[in-house]
Amino acid sequence: MTKKEKVAFTINTLEKLYPEIPIPLDHKDPYTLLIAVLLSAQSTDVRVNKITPILFARASTPTEMVKLTVEEIRDIIRPVGLSPMKSKGIYGLSKILIEKHQGKVPKDFEALEALPAVGHKTASVVMSQAFGVPAFPVDTHIHRLMYRWGFTNGKNVVQTERDAKRLFPREKWNDLHLQIIWYGREYSPARGWNIEKDIITQTIGRKSVLKAQFK
């Protein structure tokens, strides 16, 4: 198979498996998505989805959030991990949204990445899922699968994102990054991986990956 055929096979397989694509993090608007994505760093979506209803019952807008103290936010979000840093980030970005953006989440990569505790991946998720702007946020699942499928050299997430954007059609990015995440969790996990269930890696996988699996 040529690289082009491998890409087409991947897109078609994912579309068959995931015609309806659920959003992993529960939210109701761009602000609650931004907070949920920030909380998900080095945590799990399941854990975040248990905590956000408690947090959002207290504060689901920047104006409500700055009425809480950093300590109060930290106490609520403690179970997701990294709570000292994340609570400061949530309070700080909420304050900036009020002061600089009329309390609204900006629809702009640069403005998002200028907010405290918001990196490129978080900004990409918000632009993609809240505003429908084509983006390709790379998480651990996407990074792992892009390498397993021979679509990137696995050097770092910056390179993986660059390769994904080069290989996949722009209009597919927003669906594909979610489809790959769900596929990675279900069929191609980091641990407990059964390649016999992983039809994409079986069919197009990097030779060294297949060799290691079928020793």
Q: Look at the chain and count its residues.
A: 215
Q: Which residues contact 97 (CB under 8 A, 6 or more apart)?
A: 31, 62, 103, 104, 105, 115
What CA–CA distance (Å, rounded) separates 148 from 214? 14
Cβ contacts of 75 within 8 Å, gap of 6 or more: none
Residues annotated as part of the active site = 121, 139
